[in-house]
Amino acid sequence: MKNQSATESAVAKFPLILLAGGKSSRMGQPKGLVSVEGEPWILHQLQSFRDAGGTRAVVVLGYDSEAYFSAIPEFLKACQQWTELSEVPGLEVGVCENNLPEFGPFSSIQAGILRLGWSALLEPRERGVFILPVDCPAASPSTWQRLSETFLGSTIDCCLPELPGGRGGHPVLISQALANRTVTLDPATPESRLDQVIRELRPERLTRVSVEDPRVGMNLNTPEDWLQLRAVL
């Protein structure tokens, strides 16, 4: 899959919103800037999406935006225009800052959707967007592909991976229609959470795809979690 061109991959039909706006208080440093194999973790995440066939991604920053701009200067350019990063060739990246990071990941999702713009994307029936927190390792290429293929040509609003035993995970793929509804919600209200928005969908608008991909269920919150990450890279 890594050598498959983006034009041949269903994943290329959908952009990614990569959420990196949190405080990372348990880590003591921005999670996306943790050094993994000699480079910032956030670049590994973007490269993994590119390897799966992705062609466009939005990075949403928040509390630690200045640290990201210092570590990855190309992010500043990507705030103004879509930019192909030198470290991740073939992937157009846009960056935005969440001005309301105190309201958590949901407000970052809203900022990312607004940064995307939809005018230059795909035919309406194919429009959708992947959402992935920076502290959830990007899935294997086959998982991205299966989610994309399941979504294409369907009438669903959400497609998400499911591990054996019924546990869900990331990335989540939502329709443009659901994304647009998400933007209209007040991020300050307790019910403004992506999982809550998904739970409110009618059953026929939601599909779960069974996968055996340990990355799907991982969360990198503590130094110990990062040590376990090496086993799946």
pLDDT reported for residue 2: 41
Confidence at residue 118, expressed as pLDDT on a 0 to 100 scale: 63
Task: Give me 90's structure tokens.
Answer: 């073939």
Domains and CATH numbers, the chain: 6-229 (3.90.550.10)
Q: Say how far apart CA 49 and CA 98 lie, in whole Å.
A: 22
Confidence at residue 1, expressed as pLDDT on a 0 to 100 scale: 34
Task: Provide the pLDDT for residue 8.
Answer: 62
pLDDT of residue 6: 42
Low-confidence ranges of the chain (pLDDT < 70): 1-8, 25-27, 118-126
